Amino acid sequence: MQKKDISTPEDIKIVVDAFYNDVKSDTVIGYFFTDVAKVDWNEHLPKMYKFWEFALLGTTVYKGNPMIKHTTLNAKEPLIKSHFERWTELWEATIDKYYEGEIANRAKERGQLMKTVMLVKIEQINQ
Q: How does residue 84 score in pLDDT terms, banded at 50, 70 and 90?
A: very high
What pLDDT does residue 69 have? Answer: 85
What is the per-residue pLDDT across 35-64, written as a single tens digit (0 to 9) for each?
A: 999 999 999 999 999 999 999 999 877 888
What pLDDT does residue 27 have? Answer: 96
Instruction: Name the pTM for this structure.
Output: 0.92
Residue ranges covered by each domain of the chain = 9-126
Whether 17 shows a pLDDT value over 80: the answer reads: yes
Whether 94 shows a pLDDT value over 80: the answer reads: yes
Q: How far is 111 from 97, CA to CA, in rounded Å?
A: 16
- HEC profile for the chain? CCCCCCCCHHHHHHHHHHHHHHHHHCCCCHHHHHHHCCCCHHHHHHHHHHHHHHHHHCCCCCCCCHHHHHHHHHHHCCCCHHHHHHHHHHHHHHHHHHCCCHHHHHHHHHHHHHHHHHHHHHHHHHC
Question: What CATH class is the domain 9-126?
Answer: mainly alpha
Residue 15 half-sphere exposure, CB side, CA atoms within 13 Å?
32
